[in-house]
């Protein structure tokens, strides 16, 4: 893992593009992978989306203005890539909202890199019932332990709106777990 700060990596890019990019990948690959994995569920899909994310980062890095932090910029690209993947997957497989729970269970059971117990499966099912935005906010706040301000920068939503989304998401998950 790189010990350089985001600013140092950004400055290094002007001198040595390859080295700077390798440091960026080493520093953020794990964080971005887990962020993506929670959205697309399987390792195979997460691997594809992570590759696309870094490919986009490589192409767009010369235009990065350092106005937002590198961390939020990377998260925004990863989130967009993951959502684009889900959309194209939904269109390809013609999945409606009513059978997303079944879809999640199928994905988890087919993924050799999921070793969760029944409760963890149920938890993922509960997450799959949430609207896209609430699911994202819940993942970022709960799993990635991000601050509302950071999430606000990534999702371009007000902090108040995010707090409301998170609150709704938690209640819905609790209800789902209690009733199933």
Partner 1 sequence: MEQFKNIKDNSGFKVPENYFNEFPKKIEEIIANVKPDKPKKLQLKAYYSIAAVFVSIIVVATVLIKNYTKEPTQLENQTLAYLECNIYDVSDEILYDVTIESESLETKTNNNIELDVLAEEITEEEIIYNYNN
Q: Could you give the CA distance from residue 125 to residue 12 in angstroms, rounded to a whole number?
A: 43
Burial 83-113 (b: 16+ CB within 10 A, else e): bebbeeeeeeeeeeeeebbebbeebbeebee
Return the closest-CA partner of residue 54 out of 16, 11, 21, 18.
Answer: 21
Spatial contact of 74 and 32, defined as CB atoms under 8 Å apart: yes
Q: Does 26 bind partner 1 (CB under 8 A)?
A: yes
Question: Of 5, 7, 8, 34, which one interacts with partner 1 (CB under 8 A)?
Answer: 34
Size of site (CB under 8 A) for partner 1 = 35
CB of residue 171 vs partner 1: minimum separation in angstroms? 11
Instruction: Please enumerate, as own/partner, the contacts of 155-161 that have beta carbons within 8 Å and a separation of 24 or more.
Output: 155/79, 157/133
Question: Of 143, 147, 160, 180, which one interacts with partner 1 (CB under 8 A)?
Answer: 143
Q: Could you give the CA distance from residue 170 to residue 142 in angstroms, rounded to a whole number?
A: 10
R_g of the chain, CA atoms, integer Å: 17
Nearer to partner 1, 146 or 153 (CB): 146
Q: Does 129 bind partner 1 (CB under 8 A)?
A: no
Question: What count of residues does the chain have?
Answer: 180
Which part of the chain contacts partner 1 (CB under 8 A), choosing from 51-59, 76-84, 90-98, 156-164? 51-59
Q: Does 13 bind partner 1 (CB under 8 A)?
A: no
Binding to partner 1 (CB under 8 A): which residues in 76-115? 108, 113-115
Q: Does 21 bind partner 1 (CB under 8 A)?
A: yes
Residues lying near partner 1 in the complex (CB under 8 A) are found at: 18, 21-22, 25-26, 29-30, 33-34, 37-38, 43, 47, 50-51, 54-55, 58-59, 108, 113-117, 119-121, 123-124, 142-143, 170, 173, 177
């Amino acid at each position: 893992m790189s010990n350089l700060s985001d600013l140092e990596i950004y400055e290094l890019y002007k001198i040595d593009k390859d080295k700077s990019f390798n440091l960026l990948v080493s520093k953020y690959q794990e964080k971005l992978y887990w962020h993506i994995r929670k959205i697309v569920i399987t390792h195979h899909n997460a691997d594809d989306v992570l590759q696309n994310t870094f490919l986009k980062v490589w192409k767009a890095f010369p235009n990065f203005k350092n106005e937002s932090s590198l961390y939020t910029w990377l998260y925004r690209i990863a989130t967009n890539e993951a959502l684009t993947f889900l959309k194209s997957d939904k269109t390809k497989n013609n999945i409606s909202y009513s059978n997303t729970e079944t879809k999640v269970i199928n994905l988890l059971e087919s993924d050799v890199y999921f070793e969760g117990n029944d409760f963890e499966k149920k938890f993922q099912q509960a997450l799959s019932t949430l609207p896209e935005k609430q699911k994202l906010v819940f993942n970022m706040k709960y799993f990635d332990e991000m601050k509302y301000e950071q999430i606000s920068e990534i999702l371009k939503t007000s902090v108040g709106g995010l707090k409301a989304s998170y609150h709704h998401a938690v209640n819905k998950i609790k209800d789902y777990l209690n009733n199933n």
